[in-house]
Amino acid sequence: MFPSRRNHSFAAEWDAQDAILIAWPHAGTDWAYMLDEVTACYIEMARAILQDDERLVIVAPDSDEVRSALGADADWSRIHLVELPTNDTWVRDYGPITVWRDGGTVLTDFTYNAWGMKFAADCDNLVTSRLNERGLFKMPVINCRDLVLEGGSIETDGNGAVMTTTCCLTAANRNDALTREQLEKVLLERLGCVKMLWLNHGELSGDDTDGHIDTLARFAPGGIILYTGCDDPSDEHFEPLMKMEQELKQFTDADGNHYHLIKLPLPDPIYDEISRLPATYANFLVMNHQVLVPLYGQPENDVKACSLIGEAFPGRKIVGIDCRALICQHGSLHCATMQLPLNALDIQEIGIRL
């Protein structure tokens, strides 16, 4: 259940987990206009997470609102509520990133500035450090705040390779003082990795993160990459995703091996009042015993995506979560969650089965 033979490496999402971290939607977020709808999505997501025998850590400014929403029948023995102010709910991008070091584990805390200072982030940027101050974590939290980095912008195969997108990591108002080469060097050092895989194509319409990798391409065990594809030449994404596919075919791991590619369907276009939304099945969450997959009310695409993701994660149950509410704010299931590694939490043991 532990990562690769490398002694220092950014942990793969399928490595053993202690809990999932989420941030609850509230009236002070951009969800205010559709709070009931998105809360229903979070309730479904929370209940699905608890089916995996993992703990659930929920950050919220008002814990009573969460208790009321989840109800008395929730398994409160495995839910840990932490009252903290938040700007938004995209905890993937401001939660701690796990790195294995010499047989141990640390959590890294990078600066989060809401995708290049597009939105307010003064509260979200402090969530990881405040959780640490509250004594939630059993393992060290390493201060990496001299760099801006979002969890949704990087993927690892667990064996020393990091996959990312050029358009995101080199976008304005993140790490402008560094060249791409300098940024690669320092990130590989911080994450304990040896190879950076840069995608230059594939950003989805409506993605205000500047092209997060977790909307485009994701690793799975055994040298697999699942990626967002498009078979419709009339779709605006057809050419960029075809170019991305060609890049992925050229990628090799730290040992020089090519990856096995699995193409996920692109959901049929979903729009808000202004523009197309960045719906993608690549935004799934891997847990100890299951994989949560975003669904968009498109039976043919939803079923196909679940089947393909199931092929990449044999032995894990595939659970679909209706994410039509989440996509309204340009994010989805993976964006709204962050896994915490085994033995991360300094709270009462509950007998997680691995």
Residue-level pLDDT at 7: 55
| 244-259 average pLDDT score | 97
| 147-159 average pLDDT score | 97
Other beta carbons less than 10 A from residue 335's beta carbon: 28
pLDDT bucket at 9, cuts 50 / 70 / 90: confident
To the nearest 10°, report the CA torsion of 169, 203, 158, 225: -160
Token look-up 């967002």 returns: 228
Token look-up 């969890």 returns: 151
Interhelix angle 63-70/35-50, rounded to 10 degrees, is 70
Residue-level pLDDT at 5: 45
Residue 286 to residue 301: CA distance in whole angstroms: 20
pLDDT bucket at 6, cuts 50 / 70 / 90: low
In percent, the amount of the chain with pLDDT more than 70 equals: 95
At residue 304, the 3 state secondary structure works out as helix
| 82-101 average pLDDT score | 96
At residue 49, the 3 state secondary structure works out as helix
pLDDT bucket at 25, cuts 50 / 70 / 90: very high
| 51-67 average pLDDT score | 96
| 157-184 average pLDDT score | 96
pLDDT bucket at 353, cuts 50 / 70 / 90: very low
Q: Report CA 168 to chain centroid distance, whole Å.
A: 15
- The pLDDT tens digits for 298-317 are 999 999 999 999 999 999 99
Token look-up 């991305």 returns: 244
Q: Which domains does the chain have, with CATH numbers?
A: 8-341 (3.75.10.10)
Instruction: Tell me how many degrees the CA angle 308-303-294 measures, rounded to the nearest 5.
Output: 85
Question: Which residues are CB-neighbours of 155 under 8 A, at least 6 positions away?
Answer: 162, 163, 164, 213, 214, 217, 218, 219
Q: Torsions phi, psi of 152, nearest 5?
A: -75, -5
Other beta carbons less than 10 A from residue 146's beta carbon: 10
- The pLDDT tens digits for 258-294 are 999 999 999 999 999 989 999 999 999 999 999 999 9
Check whether 351 has a pLDDT greater than 50: no
Query: Across the chain, what does the average pLDDT equal?
Result: 94
At residue 27, the 3 state secondary structure works out as coil
Other beta carbons less than 10 A from residue 340's beta carbon: 24
- Amino acid letter at 93? D
- Among 139, 53, 60, residue whose Cα is nearest residue 96: 139
Check whether 3 has a pLDDT greater than 50: no
- The pLDDT tens digits for 65-89 are 999 999 999 999 999 999 999 999 9
Residue-level pLDDT at 74: 96
To the nearest 10°, report the CA torsion of 214, 200, 248, 194: -80
In percent, the amount of the chain with pLDDT more than 90 equals: 93
Tokens for 47? 């209940």
- Among 90, 65, 328, 309, residue whose Cα is nearest residue 209: 90
| 166-173 average pLDDT score | 96
| 51-74 average pLDDT score | 96
pLDDT bucket at 104, cuts 50 / 70 / 90: confident
